[in-house]
Structure 1
Amino acid sequence: MTFTSKIAWDDTVLPFQLDRSDIRGRVARLDGVLEQILSQHNYPAQIEALVAEMAVLTALIGQTMKLRWKLSLQVRGDGAARLIATDYYSPSQDGTPAKIRGYASFDEEKLIPGADPFSQIGNGYFAILIDQGQGTTPYQGITPISGGSLSACAETYFAQSEQIPSRFAISFGQSQRPTEKANWRAGGILLQHMPKASPFADQGGSGEAGLLNALDILDGDEGENWNRANILLDTVEELELVGPNVDPTDLLIRLFHEEQPRVFDAQPITFGCTCSSDRVRQSLSIYSARDIAHMTTDDGIVTADCQFCGAHYEFNPLTLGFEAKLDDAEKS
């Protein structure tokens, strides 16, 4: 993809509603955020594609989080792609950006050249975790890897665990502006029907391995409205999703003008990580002095690197673990 300009909608999520169909949705565009996520590691192209898709899913789903909540998406598999993890930190206050970070772990020896990125996951699960902050118990929902894409996994999750019919259309790839190096861009649309009780909730659905899908939850006029909106979404082109020739508001009118689209305030997104030396110390507080000694390098220090942002930390081993001997003033 070759683009000539950067647009104001990059790194934003635009929520909307289709008033005629009782369907809500979001449009996401990621540019610099995605580039920062992927630039932290030298991933193979197939792993980059999985992380890019996961980042867009995270932006689309995370936009509904309340202030100061955290959303985590995680995929674990027994194939070459062992782990894909993304976090969405909702704004601390209205009008400030949300933050996204992402990371992947993979087994290079298991990578199949030329194979579809999704096939590199193998068998495993797709999970969503919502952390509402101190004093609350995080919520976690899990669904098996199925459907041929991470987007399909997310659709199954919402149908199975939340009883919310959902549909994602996502596009991603490398783009290049004149005189600049290539960088990653991604975009997507999420449609969700307002939730209702499912007649199949207790007896399984018609999806893979008996999992629920959207049409198991909807019937009558609601099913017709959902089908119509999905048919319209099927007409979207990949370049329309990632931009920059069509901004999200024009795209919604182009796709859904008969459904009476109504947009709300856009949410800006930035790359962000919450790692810190204090958090690393806390994570190591469960270890004894003997355990810490095994982690100590020949130079007499304990090191830690954040897989999300690349930050490097060094510690005096005497300050770590539940047997730490030095007080805060002496910690290095």
Structure 2
Amino acid sequence: MTLGGQIAWDDTVLPFQLDRSDIRGRVARLDGALEKVLEQHAYPPQIEALVAEAALLTAMIGQTMKLRWKLSLQIRGSGAARLIATDYFAPSAPGEPARIRAYAAFDADRLAPDAAPFSQIGEGYFAILIDQGAGTTPYQGITPITGKSLADCAQTYFAQSEQLPTRFALTYGRSQLPGAAAHWRAGGVMLQTMPKASPFANAGGSGEGGLLDAADVLEGDDAEHWTRANMLLDTVEELELVGPSVQPTDLLVRLFHEEGPRVFDPQSVHFGCSCSADKVRQSLSIYSAKDIRSMTTEEGTVTADCQFCGAHYVFDPKTLGFEAEGDAD
């Protein structure tokens, strides 16, 4: 694979369908977008790994939704990793890139240095939030933290909340090509059955804690197709997932050539943040002048930092809150 071919597939999500199996999927590669997400913060390795996995999941899940605006993923736990939050912003116009951002909140003194990243979350919940913009009601689906990875949590979410058997094969980490600096790369394959009514939607599940599993929502030919596609995906290698030596189209042929893979237009993904001074002002508009004074620094300003991109905002307190006295600068 040439360098040009590698770059062409970096930071993309490629949708595909397995015609024989009635299964849809995505192949994702994140490179510069993931590096931008992580370089905003000096995270410990365990937190970096969790943010990388969450960002990759978000890019793949976001691309499956018919979004007009934003899909968010939130993981909240009782452990050292208290929060992992990601956003996927749909393309603003055909041909435009989607945008992702992510950050984590954690207690450094509670991190177990030799424990697996996922174990740092503890008990909690995995949530997907969909916001289609002004004039719509946001949707939120929540399932418990389960399994051994964030990918396991996402699979449980789709089986339990959407009755859509879903499988992720992911890998991520620092990569270094000869003569180049080490940087983050991530790649993965997502499989998902096509939406249809499930005869078991209201039944108890066989998964952890009685949650639904793929086996609970499939039967007959659908179950056979799903099992076969998953067996094929089990043969994938980490270097094939993350690249850069194997193109996504070649990977699909290698894995699923007997399933009739059909690809669609790829979607590029960039790092991007939606924060702005106006949005910060709006968020502070609910506070009184007294509240604003309590937020004012010794220098006589009110400051705010974006957790996603690190942008730093400085305001005149007189221009903030519902009792603002002056015009914004």
When normalised by structure 1's length, the TM-score is 0.96
The one-letter code of the counterpart of 1:322 is: F
1:71 matched to 2:71? The reply is yes
Cα displacement string for residues 138-178 of structure 1 (whole angstroms, at most 9, x for unaligned residues): 00000000011100100011011111110000000100123
Within-5 A mapping of 1:182-193:
182-193=182-193
Deviates more, 1:102-111 or 1:178-187: 178-187
CA shift for structure 1 position 195: 2.3
- The aligned residue for residue 287 of structure 1 is 287
1:257 is paired with a residue whose SS is helix
Say which SS state the counterpart of residue 91 (structure 2) adopts. Answer: coil
1:164-179 map, 5 Å: 164-179=164-179
**Is residue 239 of structure 1 aligned with residue 239 of structure 2?**
yes
- The CA deviation string for residues 282-306 of structure 1, in whole angstroms up to 9 with x for no partner, is 0111111111111111100001111
Aligned to 1:147: 147
User: Distance in 1 between the 2:65 and 2:23 partners?
Assistant: 18
Query: 1:182-331 alignment to 2 at 5 Å?
Result: 182-327=182-327, 331=328
Change (3 A) 1:4 1:94: closer
Work out whether residues 293 and 317 of structure 2, in 8 Å CA contact, stay in contact via their aligned partners in 1.
yes
Looking at structure 1, the residues matched to 188 and 278 of structure 2 have their Cα atoms a distance apart, in angstroms, of: 36
Q: Deviations over 1:56-87 (max 9, x none)?
A: 10010011233532100000001000000000
Moved more, 49-58 or 191-200: 191-200
Identity of aligned residues (%): 74
The number of residue pairs the alignment matches comes to 327
Alpha-carbon distance in 2 for matches of 1:254, 1:209: 36
- Decide whether the 8 Å contact of 1:199 with 1:216 is kept in 2: no
Counterpart of 2:83 in structure 1: which amino acid?
Answer: L
Aligned to 2:26: 26
Bigger CA drift: 201-210 or 247-256? 201-210
Distance 2:233 2:106 in 1: 33
Deviation of 1:200 (Å): 3.1
> Which string of whole-angstrom CA distances, capped at 9 and with x for unpartnered residues, describes residues 30-54 of structure 1?
0000000000000000000000000
Give 3-state SS (helix, strand or coil) of 1:7's partner: helix
Q: List runs of 5+ in structure 2 lacking aligned partners.
A: none
Amino acid at match of 2:12: T
Please provide the CA RMSD for this pair.
Answer: 1.3
What residue identity is the alignment partner of 1:129?
Answer: L
Q: Which residue identity does 2:311 align to in structure 1?
A: A
**TM superposition shift of 1:109:** 1.0
**DSSP 3-state at the match of 1:72:** strand
Over 3 Å counting, the alpha-carbon distance change for 1:34 and 1:66 in structure 2 is: same
Runs of 4+ with deviation above 6 angstroms: none
Query: In the TM superposition, what whole-angstrom CA distance separates every residue of 1:85-126 from its partner, at most 9, and x where no partner exists?
Result: 000000011111000000100001110011010000000000
Q: TM-score, normalised by structure 2?
A: 0.97
**Alignment partners' CA distance in 2, 1:109 and 1:199:** 48
Structure 2 CA distance for partners of 1:318 and 1:38, relative to 1, 3 Å: same
Matched, 1:108 2:104: no
- Give the conservation status (yes or no) of the 8 Å contact 1:200–1:212: no
CA shift for structure 1 position 270: 0.5
CA distance in structure 2 between the aligned counterparts of 1:221 and 1:48, rounded to whole angstroms: 40
- Whether the 8 Å CA contact 1:59–1:88 is kept in 2: the answer is yes
1:4 is displaced (CA, Å) by 7.8
1:274 alignment partner AA: S
- Distance in 1 separating the partners of 2:300 and 2:108: 32
Contact 2:80–2:108, Cα closer than 8 Å, also in 1: yes
Contact map agreement 2:124 2:144 (CA 8 A) in 1: yes
Shift of 1:7: 2.9
Supply the AA of the counterpart residue of 1:9: W
SS at match of 2:75: strand
- Check if 1:89 corresponds to 2:89: yes
- Partner Cα separation in structure 2 for residue 145 and residue 64 of structure 1: 22
The answer to whether the 8 A contact 2:67-2:132 is kept is: no
SS at 2:206 equivalent: coil
